[in-house]
């Protein structure tokens, strides 16, 4: 039987709130399920609240509100943070991504999350 975790998109106001919302969806109040894209991808591999040996899916309700909250402005904000923390050898790549985002091009933070979720076991239903 597939275990389904519900993401309440109305509660997602940015990437920081997404980490809280998904952590609570999987592991209850105060639950952890990643706080950055890499740890989120790791958590989706199982064992961080999701079944190690069973199927699971995410149902992202009101995802259009999340898409707006995780849109261009949040993407620029996240890339600016990433640029400040990035290794000198990575700065040029992050700067290119930031320049694209500022121009209204390239994937958004919402797109980043959906891509990670679609690459992992389990299903994603956008409602």
Low-confidence ranges of the chain (pLDDT < 50): none
Q: What is the CA radius of gyration of the chain?
A: 15
- What does the block give as tokens for 100? 């694209």
Please state, in angstroms and rounded to a whole number, the distance separating the CA atoms of residues 60 and 117. Answer: 11
Percentage of the chain modeled with pLDDT above 90: 73
Q: What is the pLDDT of residues 10-46, one digit of tens each?
A: 999 999 999 999 999 999 999 999 899 999 988 887 7
The pLDDT value recorded for residue 55 is 80
Element (H, E) at 56: strand 56-61
The pLDDT value recorded for residue 42 is 86
Give the position of tokens 């985002």: 101
Q: Which of 69, 67, 62, 72 is nearest to 10 (CA)?
A: 62
Sign of CA dihedral 118, 52, 47, 5: positive
The pLDDT value recorded for residue 43 is 86
The pLDDT value recorded for residue 106 is 97
- What does the block give as tokens for 47? 């064992």
């Amino acid at each position: 039987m597939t275990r389904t975790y519900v993401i309440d998109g109305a509660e997602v106001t940015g990437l920081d709130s997404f980490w809280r919302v998904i952590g609570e969806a999987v592991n209850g109040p105060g639950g952890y399920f990643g706080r950055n894209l890499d740890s989120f991808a790791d958590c989706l591999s199982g064992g961080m609240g999701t079944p190690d040996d069973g199927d699971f899916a995410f149902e992202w309700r009101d995802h259009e509100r999340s898409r707006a909250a995780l849109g261009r402005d949040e993407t620029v904000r996240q890339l600016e943070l990433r640029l400040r923390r990035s290794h000198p050898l990575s700065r040029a790549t992050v700067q290119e991504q930031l320049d694209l985002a500022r121009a209204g091009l390239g994937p958004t933070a919402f797109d980043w999350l959906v891509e990670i979720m679609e690459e992992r076991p389990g299903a994603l239903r956008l409602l």
